[in-house]
C-alpha cells in the first residue's frame, strides 16, 4: 500500500482530516475535517473484489447520513443558540451525539460495522478499528457528561459487542464485535477525562496492531483456519491466543492495565452498577476468545508431543507480543521501584 503514490496521498489526507477535526476551534471546521477523512478512506477501501466494493458503499452511505445529521445539528444549534454549545438545549445534543456515535459504530448504531469489516483487508480493518475512532470520540469528549443517554450507549455497546461475537466464525467479525465492546470502555474513559481515553486508546491500538499483523501474515480469515494451518506450530498458536486474551483484558496481560485504570476511576465516581455491568459482559468476550483456543488446542490438535520448533511469526510481532504478554508485570514492577 505504501509504495503506491495514490494510496500514499490518500493516507496523508486521511491523517490530515483527523488532525483538522481534532485541532478545529469550530464545529463547522470539525465537520470539514470529518468529510476530508471520509473521502480519503473510501479509495483506500477499494480492492479488486465485490466484497470490498460492497463494504465501501455501505461505509459511504452510513457516513454520509451521519455527516448530514451532524451538519444539520450544528446549523440548528447556532440558529437557536448563537452563543454556542454551553447554552444549547439538551434536545440538540441528542442528534449531535447520535451522529458521532453512528460515525464510529457504537451501539445501537453498530449494525453496519461488522459488515464493512468483513469486506475489507486487514490493513483497512486496522484503520477502521483505530484511527477512524479518534475524531468522533474527540468531538464527543466536548459534550460528554454523566447522564442516562451516554450511560445507555456504554451499556449497549458492551452488550452488543459481547453477545454479537458469540456465534461468529469469521475473525474479522469477531474483531469487529470486540472493537464495539472496547468502544463502550472508550466512551466511559472519555466521560472520565481525556487522559484516560488516550491511555485506553493507545493500549487498544497497540494490541490491535499485533493481532492484525498475525492475521495478515498467516492470511487468517476464519476460526477453522487456525485449527490445522500448517505454518502455525504450537508456540505460534500460543502467541496468537495469548494476544487475544490480552486484547480481551485478562490479567496478568497488558490489556488489563487500561481496564484497571477505568475501573478505579469509575469506583471513585461511585458508579458501581456501571462497573459491574461492564466487567461482567466483557468476560463474555474472553469466552469466545478461549473457545477459539480450546478448539484449536484440544479438539483438533494432532501433535503427539510438544513441538519445539521455532515460532514462524515475524520478529517484530514476536517482540511486540512479549510486551503484550508481560507488560502488566513489568509496569507493576516499575511502579514499585519508583
121's CB contacts (< 8 A; 6+ apart) are 47, 52
The string of DSSP letters for 1-50 reads -TT-HHHHHHHHHHHHHHHHHHH-SSHHHHHHHHHHHHHHHHHHH--SSH
Q: Quick one: 100 and 154 in the same domain?
A: no
Residue 290 lies in a domain: yes
Answer for the pair 153, 174: CB distance below 8 angstroms, yes or no.
Answer: no
Residues 248 and 304 in one domain: yes
Alpha-carbon distance values, 91 to 95, 101, 140 (Å)? 8, 16, 16
Q: At what angle do helices 171-192 and 148-164 cross, to 10 degrees?
A: 160
pTM of the model: 0.91
Task: Say if residue 154 is in the same domain as residue 235.
Answer: yes
Residues 6 or more apart whose CB falls under 8 angstroms from that of 226 comprise 220, 232, 237, 240, 292, 296
CA atoms within 13 A on the CB side of 252: 9
- Answer whether residue 300 shows pLDDT above 80: no
pLDDT at position 324, please?
A: 85
The band of 49, judged by pLDDT with boundaries at 50, 70 and 90, is confident
Same domain, 191 and 307: yes
Among 60-69, 235-244, 264-273, whose mean pLDDT is lowest? 235-244
102-125 pLDDT, tens per residue? 999 998 999 999 999 999 999 999
Residue 226 has pLDDT above 90, yes or no: no
Q: How confident is the model at residue 85 (pLDDT cuts 50, 70, 90)?
A: low
Q: Do 225 and 322 reside in the same domain of the chain?
A: yes
Q: What is the pLDDT of residues 165-179, one digit of tens each?
A: 988 889 999 999 999
Instruction: With a cut of 90, say whether residue 41 has pLDDT above it.
Output: yes
The pLDDT value given to residue 207: 94
337 and 236 share one domain:
yes
Greater pLDDT, 144 or 258: 258
The answer as to whether 115 is a domain residue is no
Q: Are 332 and 186 found together in one domain?
A: yes
**End-to-end Cα, the chain, rounded Å:** 43
Which string of DSSP letters, residue by residue, matches 106-126?
-TTS-THHHHHHHHS-HHHHH
43 close to 6: Cβ distance less than 8 angstroms: yes
For the ranges 238-247, 283-292, 318-327, the lowest mean pLDDT is seen at 318-327
Rounded Cα gap, residues 175 and 161, in angstroms: 9
DSSP sequence for 184-199: HHHHHHHHH-HHHHHH
Q: Which percentage of the chain shows pLDDT scores above 90?
A: 51
- Residues paired with residue 222 on neighbouring β-strands, in sequence order: 170
Res 1 pLDDT > 90? no
Average pLDDT taken over every residue of the chain: 85
For residue 60 the three cell numbers come to 459511504
Which has more confidence, 58 or 252? 58
- The answer as to whether 125 is a domain residue is no
Is residue 335 scored above 80 in pLDDT? no
pLDDT at 2 over 70: no
CA distance 172 to 169: 9
What are 322's three cell numbers?
512479549
Question: Are both 194 and 92 inside the same structural domain?
Answer: no
Amino acid at each position: 500500500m505504501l509504495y503506491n503514490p495514490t494510496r500514499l496521498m490518500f493516507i496523508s489526507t486521511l491523517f490530515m482530516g483527523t488532525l483538522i477535526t481534532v485541532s478545529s476551534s469550530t464545529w463547522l471546521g470539525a465537520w470539514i475535517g470529518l468529510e476530508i477523512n471520509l473521502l480519503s478512506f473510501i479509495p483506500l477501501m477499494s480492492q479488486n473484489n465485490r466484497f470490498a466494493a460492497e463494504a465501501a458503499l455501505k461505509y459511504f452511505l452510513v457516513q454520509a447520513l451521519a455527516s448530514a445529521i451532524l451538519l444539520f445539528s450544528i446549523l440548528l444549534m447556532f440558529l437557536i443558540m448563537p452563543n454556542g454549545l454551553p447554552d444549547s438545549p439538551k434536545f440538540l445534543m441528542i442528534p449531535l451525539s447520535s451522529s458521532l456515535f453512528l460515525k464510529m459504530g457504537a451501539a445501537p448504531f453498530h449494525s453496519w460495522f461488522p459488515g464493512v469489516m468483513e469486506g475489507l483487508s486487514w490493513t483497512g480493518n486496522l484503520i477502521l478499528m483505530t484511527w477512524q475512532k479518534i475524531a468522533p470520540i474527540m468531538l464527543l469528549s466536548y459534550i460528554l457528561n454523566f447522564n442516562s443517554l451516554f450511560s445507555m450507549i456504554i451499556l449497549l455497546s458492551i452488550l452488543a459487542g459481547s453477545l454479537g461475537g458469540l456465534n461468529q466464525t469469521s475473525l474479522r467479525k469477531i474483531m469487529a464485535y470486540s472493537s464495539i465492546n472496547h468502544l463502550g470502555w472508550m466512551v466511559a474513559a472519555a466521560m472520565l477525562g481525556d487522559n484516560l481515553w488516550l491511555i485506553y486508546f493507545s493500549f487498544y491500538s497497540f494490541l490491535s496492531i499485533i493481532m492484525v499483523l498475525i492475521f495478515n501474515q498467516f492470511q487468517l480469515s476464519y476460526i477453522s483456519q487456525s485449527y490445522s494451518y500448517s505454518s502455525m506450530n504450537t508456540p505460534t498458536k500460543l502467541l496468537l491466543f495469548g494476544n487475544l486474551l490480552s486484547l480481551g483484558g485478562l490479567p496478568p496481560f497488558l490489556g488489563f492495565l487500561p481496564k484497571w485504570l477505568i475501573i478505579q476511576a469509575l469506583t471513585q465516581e461511585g458508579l458501581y452498577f456501571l462497573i459491574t455491568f461492564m466487567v461482567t459482559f466483557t468476560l463474555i468476550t474472553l469466552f469466545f476468545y478461549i473457545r477459539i483456543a480450546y478448539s484449536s488446542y484440544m479438539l483438533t490438535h494432532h501433535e503427539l508431543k510438544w513441538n519445539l520448533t521455532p515460532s514462524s511469526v515475524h520478529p517484530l510481532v514476536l517482540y511486540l507480543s512479549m510486551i503484550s504478554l508481560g507488560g502488566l508485570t513489568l509496569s507493576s514492577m516499575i511502579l514499585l521501584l519508583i
